[in-house]
C-alpha cells in the first residue's frame, strides 16, 4: 500500500538519499576528495575566531560568558570527531579550531570585519553580546561568514538563544549548524569533490532535525541557514 507523501517523510527521504550519495561518493572515490590546491594554497578555511562578547560586565554575566566560550572551544574538538566520522579529509581535522581572539576590536568597523575575515583566512568570525536584562541570560551571536555565505542574503547571521543549563546543547548545536554550512560552502569554493559538501550538509540537516525534535522552534538565523543548506543539498544530490 503506497505511503502518502508528507513534508516529514519527504525530508526523511531527502536525508536518506543524501546519506546514500555521500557514502557512495566517499567510499568509491577517496582519491577524488582532494581539493584543487590552486584555488587556495592556504587550504581550507578552518579557523573560527571567537571575540569576547559585549555586555558581560557583572560577575554573573562574565561567568556565563566564560561558560559559553569554554563550551565553544570544547565543541570545536567534537567537530573534529564528527568530521572524522564523515570522512571528509584529514586537512580539516588538523586545522579546524576555535581561536579566542580577545577583545572585539572589530565592533562598529564593518569594513575592517570583511578585511579581517579575508586576511586571517578565517572560516567565520564570532562576536556578540550577553544579555541578562530580563533576569535570564541569553547570547546573541553575530557569525560573519564573509564570502562563504553561499545562498544566504547576508554574510552576517544572528543567532540568539538563552544560555540556561537546559538550553546549552541547543545553543551549541545552533552555532555548529552555521559552522558546518560555512565548511560546506568552503569545500565547494575549493573545488573539493561534491561528496565533501554533501556529507557536511547532510550532517547539518541531522543537527537541524535534532534541534527541532528537542526545542521545537528554530532560531530565525538558524532557520535561514537550514533552508539554504537544504536547497544546496538538493542541487548537489540531483546533479548527475
Partner 1 sequence: MTEAVGATRSCRACGEAISAQARVCRVCKSPQGWTRLLFQWKEVTVAVLALVPLWKAAGSLAEMAHTEPKAPVVRASALACDSGSFRLALTNVGTSAGLVADVRLAYLSDGRRIEPGVDLVPEGDEPGLVLEPGEVVTMALAPRISGVPTVLQFPRGGGECRAIALVRVKTFEENDSVVEAGCPCP
| Angle in degrees, CA 117, 118, 121, rounded to 5 | 80
Q: How far apart are CA 22 and CA 167, in angstroms?
A: 31
111-150 residues in contact with partner 1 (CB under 8 A) are 112, 115-116, 118-121
User: In the structure grid, which three cell numbers stand for residue 75, read together?
Assistant: 565543541
Which cell is 49 given? 575566531
Q: Tally the C-alpha atoms within 13 A of residue 142's C-alpha that lie toward its C-beta.
A: 18
Residue of 11, 54, 61, 91 interacting with partner 1 (CB under 8 A):
91
Shortest reach from residue 234's CB to partner 1, in Å: 31
Where does this chain touch partner 1 (CB under 8 A) — which range of 69-77, 100-108, 166-174, 199-207? 100-108
Contacts of 25-31 with C-beta under 8 Å, sequence gap 24+, read 25/193, 25/194, 25/195, 25/198, 26/86, 26/87, 26/88, 26/195, 26/199, 29/193, 29/195
Residues 28-87 that bind partner 1 (CB under 8 A): 37, 41-44, 47, 49
Find the shortest distance in angstroms from Cβ 110 to partner 1: 13
H or E element at residue 205: helix 194-215
Whole-number minimum distance, CB 45 to partner 1, in Å?
8
Q: Does residue 201 bind partner 1 (CB under 8 A)?
A: no
Q: How far is the CB of 158 from partner 1 (least distance, A)?
A: 21
Residues that bind partner 1 (CB under 8 A): 37, 41-44, 47, 49, 91, 95, 99, 101-102, 105-106, 112, 115-116, 118-121
Amino acid at each position: 500500500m503506497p505511503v502518502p507523501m508528507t513534508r516529514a517523510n519527504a525530508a526523511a527521504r531527502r536525508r536518506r538519499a543524501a546519506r546514500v550519495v555521500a557514502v557512495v561518493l566517499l567510499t568509491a572515490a577517496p582519491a577524488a576528495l582532494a581539493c584543487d590546491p590552486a584555488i587556495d594554497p592556504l587550504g581550507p578555511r578552518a579557523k573560527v575566531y571567537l571575540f569576547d562578547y559585549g555586555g558581560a560586565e557583572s560577575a554573573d554575566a562574565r561567568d556565563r560568558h566564560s561558560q559559553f566560550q569554554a563550551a565553544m572551544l570544547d565543541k570545536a574538538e567534537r567537530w573534529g570527531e564528527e568530521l572524522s566520522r564523515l570522512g571528509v579529509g584529514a586537512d580539516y581535522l588538523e586545522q579546524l579550531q576555535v581561536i579566542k581572539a580577545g577583545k572585539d576590536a572589530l565592533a562598529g568597523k564593518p569594513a575592517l570585519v570583511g578585511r579581517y575575515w579575508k586576511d586571517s583566512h578565517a572560516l567565520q568570525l564570532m562576536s556578540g553580546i550577553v544579555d541578562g536584562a530580563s533576569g535570564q541570560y541569553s547570547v546573541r551571536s553575530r557569525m560573519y561568514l564573509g564570502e562563504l555565505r553561499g545562498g544566504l542574503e547576508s554574510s552576517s547571521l544572528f543567532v540568539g538563544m538563552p544560555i540556561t543549563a537546559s538550553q546549552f546543547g541547543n545553543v551549541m548545536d545552533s552555532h555548529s549548524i552555521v559552522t558546518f554550512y560555512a565548511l560546506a560552502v568552503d569545500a565547494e569554493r575549493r573545488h573539493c569533490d561534491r561528496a565533501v559538501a554533501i556529507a557536511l550538509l547532510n550532517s547539518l540537516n541531522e543537527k537541524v532535525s535534532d534541534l527541532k525534535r528537542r526545542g521545537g522552534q528554530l532560531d530565525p538565523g538558524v532557520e535561514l541557514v537550514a533552508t539554504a543548506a537544504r536547497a544546496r543539498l538538493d542541487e548537489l544530490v540531483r546533479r548527475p
